């Protein structure tokens, strides 16, 4: 009795389905874009979604975060159907950066803080605590000295760190990255990916990354895709392959994340070159 | 100079000061979302409403307001139909509004309708009723922006991220359009339908030159709007010029000065 109790209190964290897709299809003007995709992402998995242009990567991602409705099938987030899902603060989202207008008047701090403004925070003022969270997120990404800089003036790599800090400010359980390295030079891409890998290994987060970069995904997630659907390929690295599901090895807060990154001596200062 | 102490001038000044806050504030959100032309569109449609108001004998600004709000919903609908060509919906609405207005104006030829005062503004004819309406709209806009500025920022900066964080994006889009419609329809008597959009967009254009943060941009558009309105009214009053046109030309002068100044700074450094 006692034993089963300990098992149930520890293991579900490791095996909860964070994302599940069941027979998901999507058509745009009668043209099928995605047909019958099913897969499940468990807690602390790292899933890489690869496909050529037009394979439906972005469509799939937009369905997972509720921006598009599938024509068929069901998507669940943390066990709840996506249309009813309310805990959006559990999801950190890093968009493709190429939509950023360089003239937009906003400093890094404003952008990172905006990660807190979900539906649940309507009418709330920005508190001291919020600013503290922002500082932690900036610190975790090693960009605290940029907090008062205008976002459009930063390099691509620095901007990507800002968006990552914004996604991390809520301390999410799931981090979704949409082609995070598009438009960034190869060297910066590598160090960015390195940082993501390190975060996966040391933080209790689940990752979903869309990318066209086969090499980086394969080097971390294995040479063979776990499944394929049309032109989409799914690569998965399961949580048990990185570490045991021992909670106290993992950073749960942003402060912890920075410490982990530093202890690994793998903090690569992206974009410092310009 | 005695014009400055006259009652009609002071009413004009109060009305101008209120619009000098709200129009540039709404303008930031429109400009940053690449909807600069929405001001022109809504104001042209509301002229049609004003004309109808004259024809049927109802308070013209109120009818103009109804038209502008209806148009803002129409734009949202058209924007969906032409997703990637959002500006097309503005062009359609704008020409539709002008066409309807010209039709109504010809119908109302016998009604002693003063078209000019709505096209180019007639700030000296503001009544107390007009002022109350402008005051009410100012209050609504300020409360809405004050309480929702974080959400409006997020939607303006990154609409997708806003949607993923659970914000009802469509609600905010409609809110921005409706607030803009309110501001525009009460501004028409002040600067005129043809010039309203300058009061929305030029302060925002200025702030893009000088502001680093969003907060600075919000503060700077209000300051620039107020300077232009007050100085414009004084200049126009003293030299007997058209107030609306003077305000707008002053805004353009401020913009040019800022551009030159910025250039000088760059060359200096």
According to DSSP, the residues that pair with A236 across neighbouring strands are: A47
Asked whether the predicted pLDDT for residue B195 surpasses 60, the reply is yes
Q: Convert the pLDDT of each residue in A220-234 to its tens digit.
A: 888 788 888 778 888
Q: Is A212 exposed, middle or buried (0-12, 13-18, 19+ CB in 10 A)?
A: middle
Contact A264, A194 (CB under 8 A): no
| Most confident by average pLDDT, A197-211, B113-127, B173-187 | B173-187
pLDDT for the residue numbered A255: 64
Asked whether the predicted pLDDT for residue A11 surpasses 50, the reply is no
A115 near B CB under 8 A: yes
Per-residue confidence at A3, pLDDT binned at 50, 70, 90? very low
| CATH code of residue B96 | 1.10.3470.10
Interface size between A and B, measured as CB pairs under 8 A: 83
Per-residue confidence at A274, pLDDT binned at 50, 70, 90? very low
Asked whether the predicted pLDDT for residue B226 surpasses 90, the reply is yes
Whole-model pTM?
0.84
Q: Say if B257 falls within a structural domain.
A: no
Backbone torsions φ then ψ of A76, nearest 5 degrees: -120, 140
Q: Convert the pLDDT of each residue in B57-93 to its tens digit.
A: 888 888 999 999 999 888 878 877 777 777 788 888 8
Asked whether the predicted pLDDT for residue A7 surpasses 60, the reply is no
Mutate to test the interface with A, among B83, B145, B165, B207 (most CBs of A within 10 A): B165
Residue A218's contacts (CB-CB under 8 Å, 6 or more residues apart) are: A235
Backbone torsions φ then ψ of A220, nearest 5 degrees: -100, -35
Question: Which candidate from B167, B208, B213 shows the least CB-CB separation from A119?
Answer: B167
Range of the domain at B157: 2-198
Residue B152 Cα, gap to closest chain A Cα (Å): 10
pLDDT for the residue numbered A198: 81
Residue A29 Cα, gap to closest chain B Cα (Å): 13
Q: Write out the DSSP string of A50-63.
A: E--TTSSHHHHHHH
pLDDT for the residue numbered A9: 37
- For each of the domains in chain A, give its residue range(s) and CATH number, in order of start: 2-263 (3.40.50.300)
- Ranges of H-type helices in B84-127: 86-107, 115-119
According to DSSP, the residues that pair with A135 across neighbouring strands are: none
pLDDT for the residue numbered B269: 60
Mutate to test the interface with B, among A62, A83, A114, A116 (most CBs of B within 10 A): A114
Cβ neighbour number for residue B262 with a 10 Å cutoff = 12
Q: Say if B137 falls within a structural domain.
A: yes
Strand order in the sheet with A232-237: A91-94, A174-178, A206-211, A46-50, A232-237, A227-229
| Inter-chain CB proximity A110 and B215 less than 8 Å | yes
Mutate to test the interface with A, among B28, B34, B145, B157 (most CBs of A within 10 A): B157
Q: Convert the pLDDT of each residue in B197-220 to its tens digit.
A: 999 999 999 999 999 999 999 999
Per-residue confidence at A32, pLDDT binned at 50, 70, 90? confident
Asked whether the predicted pLDDT for residue A265 surpasses 60, the reply is no
| Inter-chain CB proximity A117 and B151 less than 8 Å | yes
Q: Which of residues 126-145 of A touch B (CB under 8 A)?
A: 126
The CA R_g of chain B, rounded to the nearest whole Å, is 19
| Inter-chain CB proximity B212 and A67 less than 8 Å | no
pLDDT for the residue numbered A268: 42
Residue A110's contacts (CB-CB under 8 Å, 6 or more residues apart) are: B153, B213, B214, B215
Per-residue confidence at A122, pLDDT binned at 50, 70, 90? low
Strand order in the sheet with A17-28: A31-42, A17-28, A72-77, A80-81
Per-residue confidence at B225, pLDDT binned at 50, 70, 90? very high
pLDDT for the residue numbered B228: 96
pLDDT for the residue numbered A253: 63
Q: Say if B233 falls within a structural domain.
A: no
pLDDT for the residue numbered A273: 36
Question: Which candidate from B158, B211, B212 shows the least CB-CB separation from A95?
Answer: B158
The CA R_g of chain A, rounded to the nearest whole Å, is 19
pLDDT for the residue numbered A191: 81
pLDDT for the residue numbered A10: 40
Specify the number of domains making up chain B.
1
- Cα distances (angstroms) measured from residue A270 to each of A41, A189, A217, A251: 29, 9, 19, 22
| Inter-chain CB proximity A67 and B163 less than 8 Å | yes
pLDDT above 70 as % of chain B: 96
B143 or A120: which leads in pLDDT? B143
Residue B237's contacts (CB-CB under 8 Å, 6 or more residues apart) are: B3, B4, B9, B243
Average pLDDT over residues B174-193: 90
Asked whether the predicted pLDDT for residue A263 surpasses 60, the reply is no
Cβ neighbour number for residue B95 with a 10 Å cutoff = 12
Cα–Cα nearest to A202, from A252, A127, A162? A252
According to DSSP, the residues that pair with A22 across neighbouring strands are: A74
B157 near A CB under 8 A: yes
B32 near A CB under 8 A: yes
Asked whether the predicted pLDDT for residue A16 surpasses 50, the reply is yes
Asked whether the predicted pLDDT for residue A6 surpasses 60, the reply is no
Helix (H) or strand (E) holding A76: strand A72-77
Asked whether the predicted pLDDT for residue A65 surpasses 50, the reply is yes
CA B204 – CA B37 distance, rounded (Å): 13
Asked whether the predicted pLDDT for residue A114 surpasses 70, the reply is yes
Question: Which candidate from A95, A117, A120 shows the least CB-CB separation from B150?
Answer: A117
Predicted complex ipTM = 0.85
| Inter-chain CB proximity A117 and B213 less than 8 Å | no
pLDDT for the residue numbered A254: 65
Helices (H) and strands (E) in chain B, counts: 11, 0
Local structure of A262: helix, strand or coil: helix
């Amino acid at each position: 009795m006692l034993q089963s109790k300990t098992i149930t209190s520890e293991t579900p964290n490791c095996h909860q389905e964070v994302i599940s897709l069941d027979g998901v299809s999507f058509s745009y003007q009668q043209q099928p874009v995605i047909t019958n995709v099913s897969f499940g992402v468990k807690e602390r998995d790292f899933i890489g979604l690869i496909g050529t242009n037009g394979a439906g990567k972005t469509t799939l991602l937009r369905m997972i975060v509720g921006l598009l409705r599938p024509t068929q099938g069901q998507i669940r987030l943390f066990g709840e159907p996506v249309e009813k899902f309310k805990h959006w603060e559990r999801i950190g989202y890093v968009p493709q950066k190429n939509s950023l207008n360089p003239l937009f008047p906003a400093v890094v701090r404003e952008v990172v803080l905006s990660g807190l403004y979900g539906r649940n925070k309507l009418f709330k003022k920005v508190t001291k605590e919020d600013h503290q969270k922002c500082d932690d997120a900036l610190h975790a990404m090693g960009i605290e000295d940029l907090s008062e800089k205008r976002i459009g003036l930063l390099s691509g790599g620095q901007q990507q760190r800002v968006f990552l800090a914004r996604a991390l400010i809520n301390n999410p359980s799931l981090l979704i990255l949409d082609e995070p390295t598009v438009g960034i030079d190869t060297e910066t891409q590598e160090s960015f990916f390195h940082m993501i890998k390190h975060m996966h290994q040391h933080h209790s987060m689940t990752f979903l990354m869309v990318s066209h970069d086969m090499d980086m995904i394969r080097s971390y997630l294995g040479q063979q895709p776990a499944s394929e659907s049309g032109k989409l390929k799914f690569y998965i690295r399961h949580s048990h392959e990185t570490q045991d599901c021992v909670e106290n090895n993992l950073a749960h807060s942003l402060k912890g994340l920075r410490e982990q990154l530093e202890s690994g001596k793998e903090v690569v200062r992206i974009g410092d070159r310009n | 100079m005695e014009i400055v102490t006259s009652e009609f001038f002071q009413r004009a000044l109060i009305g101008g000061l209120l619009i000098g806050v709200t129009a540039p504030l709404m303008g930031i959100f429109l400009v940053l979302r690449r909807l600069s032309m929405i001001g022109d569109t809504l104001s042209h449609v509301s002229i049609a409403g004003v004309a109808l108001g004259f024809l049927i004998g109802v308070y013209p600004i109120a009818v103009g307001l109804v038209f502008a709000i209806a148009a803002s919903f129409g734009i949202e609908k058209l924007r969906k139909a032409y997703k990637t060509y959002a500006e097309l919906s503005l062009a359609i609405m704008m020409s539709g509004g002008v066409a309807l207005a010209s039709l109504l104006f010809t119908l109302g030829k016998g009604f002693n309708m003063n078209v000019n005062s709505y096209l180019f503004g007639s700030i000296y004819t503001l009544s107390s009723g007009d002022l109350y309406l402008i005051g009410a709209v100012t209050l609504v806009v300020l409360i809405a922006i004050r309480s929702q500025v974080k959400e409006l920022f997020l939607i303006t900066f990154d609409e997708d991220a806003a949607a993923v964080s659970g914000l009802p994006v469509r609600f905010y889009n409609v809110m921005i359009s409706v607030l803009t419609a309110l501001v525009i329809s009460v501004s028409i008597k002040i600067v005129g339908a043809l010039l309203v959009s300058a009061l929305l967009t030029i302060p925002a254009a200025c702030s893009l030159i000088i502001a680093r943060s969003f907060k600075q941009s919000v503060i700077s558009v209000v300051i620039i709007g107020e300077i232009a309105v007050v100085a414009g009214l004084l200049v126009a009053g003293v030299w007997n010029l058209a107030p609306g046109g003077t305000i707008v030309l002053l805004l353009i002068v401020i913009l040019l000065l800022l551009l030159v100044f910025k250039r000088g700074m760059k060359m200096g450094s």
